[in-house]
Structure 1
């Protein structure tokens, strides 16, 4: 099986999400492919098949499907049959905020491949209908891009995760499994309070009374990302806020978010946003200006 890594292109620096509509009679769109982003498919009309290494999913109008990070899959349609469907691909970490931390690890696949959640749609028509409606609303918000659509998309992504959690009658997402949020909250608070300073694994270990090795393993299993990646994520989020709210140079911002090496700061920022901090700021301010003047983006 030859695998193709599908490139995911984000057109909005603040929204790490790609939303596309397909109206096609092509038998196969990509061949076997994968990508690190989560994927959600919603079929509006017609029928199609999604093949994974373990299962074949037969989708028709009103059906939805979830594919986890880097999960190989193949999309097939019948010859000469048009299918209308929506594909959403996004980075879960981009929608991370503090009130999601107790549940984030459930969707990181350290405990359960997300593709296993598709049985919830099969067994619960109410969930399938609500989830489908949420995906279609996401696509509509992204297409129309009315004022505040970024907030709507952020909300709807979180709503889709909430629906899975709320309607999990099979216990697949048992939030009591292995999650000691109260203990890790000490670490989260430590990171937030020291984003301008040096943050060490050793200090985090002292806060929770874990050994160095056990802490790193526990943190990765719990949140689905390494402690280092989490700290970088929070520093870049802080940098985003400073870029848009403070009149500071890039060097000053890098210093304030604890990344005084400017080339290293640029490298990490580009890794997240695929653009420079200045390009990020310019794009956001330009869009804000167009919104104020009632122009379409």
Structure 2
């Protein structure tokens, strides 16, 4: 795995959005070597293959999120499985990373938020696009800085985080996560907080409400639809939790 030294963006940086798309192929796909002059976010939703640059290869797999540097690159997706991925291409006035790629692990507390930001970029117009990309860059680089100074997340907590990511529509209980991790609930709460600097109950709330905000903004759903999707008994209960995280009711986003 290539680790990257990051160079943080500043208020003087200029972001320019060049394009992006969600790509779906029923069979494998080969993108031949070419020089890409801009940075890219690449999210592989499903599929497997290789990201190839001179002298280095990175295996691609489901739910893999990368920040890619400019340069010559080649991508081969396995022809035995359908391929689904999203990319966002942009330029910035400085190098963001000093290596060819940075892999954002699925266990990152920002992973789902980043996916939502990248998908919402495809629906933004005008200046809003650059603002969304800048937010995604900030979250990505913030995570790389944390990588250098904090210990790896406990594998049992990582398992719970991955489970949360796959079940954002469910009102998960801390006891369920503790059982999944093979820990007592008090042990799980203690180790979770030590790993994430936040308690599991607070993390569940924040993650689900960020998810709710993304689908309200990007899918055109009504507040009542999202409340039902997230398995709240009433719209009032959903709105109360949403306001607790975002500081305003979900109707203000519409």
**TM-score, normalising length: structure 1:** 0.40
Structure scoring higher RCO (CA < 8 A, sep ≥ 6) equals 2
Greater share of helix: 1
Q: Highest CA radius of gyration, 1 or 2?
A: 1
Greater share of strand: 2
